[in-house]
């Protein structure tokens, strides 16, 4: 979908960063954050161990005790929080309606608890299809994520079959403020087409 604002996360982030750099070149909130390397002792995962999570999922120690950035504070001053919460619920509800028509796709949270605000739309799909679906959606410019992918190298997953099942099956669809209602429809239709093509 040309111009779909739920797409191109990396390109969009770079555009936003560039915009703020041009507007406020001396703003300390613009600086890029460094990623801390995983200690060598934690990198080695034998072939009989479950796949490790992507390196960028690990907490960045450099972020510890950092305050909210000036960039974020400036952005928040211009956000109508109640309106954004209502819009998030609206997008989430639209996904719920559209996903009902797709066999093999189920919302992880069909009912949201009072006071909760969805960060996105997590759906359950077959483990064998999840990563491929995420990649196919990303190829179409959709910010879909194979959520909670892989296993933390420092955790013991013995007896955690439920957690491992979720880690293998959750596909995360975008609901951020850039996603228009018609784009929710487009994403749901594309997901259906990917599952049942051919």
Q: Where are the domains of the chain?
A: 9-196
φ and ψ of 145, to 5 deg: -135, 135
So what's the pLDDT on residue 115?
Answer: 79
Three-class SS of 64-128: CCCCCCHHHHHHHCCCCHHHHHHHHHHHHHHHHHHHCCCCCCEECCCCCCCCCCCCEEEEECCHH
What pLDDT was estimated at residue 45?
34
Q: Which helix (H) or strand (E) holds 176?
A: none
Distances (CA, A) of 170 to 55, 60, 75: 19, 24, 30
9-196 sits in which CATH class? alpha beta
pLDDT along the chain (198 residues), means of 10: 41 43 43 32 38 70 83 90 90 95 94 86 96 95 88 81 91 92 96 87
So what's the pLDDT on residue 120?
93
| pTM higher than 0.85 | no
pLDDT at 98: 96
Q: Which H/E stretch holds residue 154?
A: none
* Euclidean distance between CA atoms 93 and 9, whole angstroms: 22
């Amino acid at each position: 979908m040309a111009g779909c604002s739920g797409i191109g996360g990396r390109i969009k982030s770079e555009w936003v960063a560039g915009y703020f750099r041009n507007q406020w070149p001396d703003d300390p909130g613009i600086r890029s954050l460094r990623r801390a390397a995983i200690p060598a002792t934690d990198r080695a995962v034998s072939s009989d161990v479950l796949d490790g999570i992507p390196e960028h999922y690990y907490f960045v120690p450099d972020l510890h005790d950092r305050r909210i950035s000036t960039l974020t504070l400036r952005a928040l001053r211009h956000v109508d929080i109640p309106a954004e919460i209502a819009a998030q619920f609206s997008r989430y509800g639209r996904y719920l309606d559209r996903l009902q028509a797709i066999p093999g796709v189920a919302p992880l949270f069909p009912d949201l608890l009072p006071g909760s605000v969805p960060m996105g739309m997590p759906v359950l799909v077959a483990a064998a299809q999840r990563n491929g679906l995420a990649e196919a959606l990303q190829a179409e410019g959709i910010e879909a994520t194979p959520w909670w992918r892989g296993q933390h190298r420092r955790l013991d997953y013995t007896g955690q079959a439920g957690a491992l099942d979720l880690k293998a099956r959750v596909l995360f669809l975008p609901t951020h403020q850039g996603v228009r209602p018609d784009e929710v429809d487009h994403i749901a239709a594309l997901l259906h087409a990917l599952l049942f093509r051919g």
